Structure 1
Amino acid sequence: MTSAAASKRPRLITLSVALGLLLAGSIIFAVTFGPADIAPLEVWQTIAHHLGLIADSPVGRLRNAIIWELRLPRVLVAAGVGAGLALCGAVMQALTRNPLADPYLLGLSSGASLGAVAFLLAGAALYMPIGAFLGAAGAMLLTLLVTRLLGGATPSRAILAGIAISSLAAAATSFLIFWSATGDSYREILSWLMGSLSGSVWSDAGIVIVATLFVGLPVLLSGRSLDAFVFGDAAAATLGVDVARLRWLLLAATALLTGVLVSIGGAIGFVGLIVPHIVRLVTGSRHRLLLPISMLVGASFMIWTDTAARSLFAPRELPVGIITALIGAPIFLLVLLRYRRAT
């Protein structure tokens, strides 16, 4: 280890601890936002009671239900979606060596939209998450199949295949909406396409958290191999990386995780695009640091953007994708300007 790397380690450990505390505090304080006036202490007491840390909760039954059944699951879903999208964005940018890459590069967002809209228009609105996941999975398989037919999973081929499948799915979605959507279905479709976490329950939180951990932990362990991709496939191969195998595995893993996240929260943009760039300004390009810190930042970012979406214009609620776009687009432009000055 070089002296420079050794000197950075305490600072990065401090940063990780600080971000972990920020995330925990964000979860507690975000639950307090809403029509009912709830204090942070009540949130902590309710959580401690349900976890068995305290026997009797001083919080009333109604307030307990608001905290535990309504707000906390949604906040945890937001944290899981933010962490997962940030992780997938960082991985996609490394695999494709494209700073504009995001988790939806393989056509997953358009495929999920097609599946969700198809289920909604078929009268199965309660099963929209299933339709979205099936659509995302179908888009992923088609993209990977086209990539293989083009000659293998190189960055350029994956991008081109993803663009083609995304355009095809988007056209099919537009056709379904034009041909079949009537009345309130337009509003439901629009809300889902813009991304929304309203109505999140504990089963959603469980799916998101388990998927993020199940897929995220192996991806985090691939940080050293992802560093090798920065120098190109040939350089990675000389360092002992099985380039083709690792790329296929990581593409499949991130596509699977993105499909799960989109099926729960809809097509929420910019999180997987801007968070890795922001974190990279602090940690550099070493993925062993970039990936976990991106997850922490993405989780907190998503919690507060969703809190803003449901609180700024209460009792009306904005799709959270509008907030992430309003924040993400200017930040991304600033990041691009910084990179332009650095080159």
Structure 2
Amino acid sequence: MLLKGVSINLVILLLLSLAYEPPMPVGISGRVLINGIPAEGIEVHLKNLNTGEEKTAITQENGWYACAMSGANGHKIQGTVIYNGKEYKKTVIVDLDRTTQFLNFSIQYEETPPSGGGGEGGGTTSPPPRESSPPPPPSPSIHANFTYYPENPEVGEEVTFTDTSEGMITSRTWTIDGKTFDTETVRYTFTSPGNYTISLVVMDAEGNLDIHQKTIYVAPIPEQNKTENYTQPQPQKNITLFIEVKDKEGNPLRNARVEIYQNETLLQITYTNSTGIAEVNVPPGSYKLRASYGNQIKTKRMSFVNDGRVVFLFSPEQRETRHEQFNYLFLIPVLAIVVILIVVILRRRKPWWK
């Protein structure tokens, strides 16, 4: 029984998914007449009563307006015009078999005459109502079309849309990622991957409309490109430290030992040259410098951003002591050779008692 119930639910879900028709851009157009005269600059507020999406269009010199909004078959689009404080509403049911859904407004407005005007009751007779013009039939004089580049865009890559419509186009409305544009060329950058339906509605001076739609796929950024987009840390350029070791009389000390530490880790060991200077190349940072000469040891902690010079001073007496120690050590191998020679000579001589 459980499996049977699951199967029925799956069938119902499948049927619902097949019956569901996702909204797609729909061209909405119409004309606004006030007392039979085309009205320019009138705002037309449009709302899809099924999805809640809202758009605003403004009439052109000939009274026509045009825009695009999402809709599906059977959706109800409501148009509202506010003129002199009064609301005028019209609705249309979306039929995707038609290229454009038309919403026309014919507003009859009576001006209040000045007091004391002629006629009984001081009023004036309003002009007879005039029927609004019917929506124009699709005209072959214009044909909406556009191109885009690159053909396979990725997230974060700028895409250029160009209007290539044919005919005398006087106005155009793009719908891209829920946003509208009215220029001939639009540059747009998508921030999320997926399929996007791009809509272009064009109109000529006679109020003829045409709409063209394309669905493009925006690919995610490949993993290798994500890595490339990150700013790679640049390797630090080494600096040169000149470490000078001399006595307090200013004489350079040769062969002084110099140790370089960072975070208590020994990095380098070097010795001063004949001029009493040792050169080391290290990255910028903080270091502990340790110099030793004879029995003397001195330490300095310093930070460096650029090349630098560090001076260590030692006492002259310690330098002489070091030379004496070195001379005594030199005599050890000499004395060993002398002892060996004496032993050899004694072995070769005959004892006097034999």
* Rg (Cα) greater in structure: 2
TM-score range, shorter chain: under 0.3
TM-score by length of 2: 0.22
TM-score by length of 1: 0.22
Which structure has the higher relative contact order (CA within 8 Å, separation 6+)?
1
Structure number having the greater strand percentage: 2
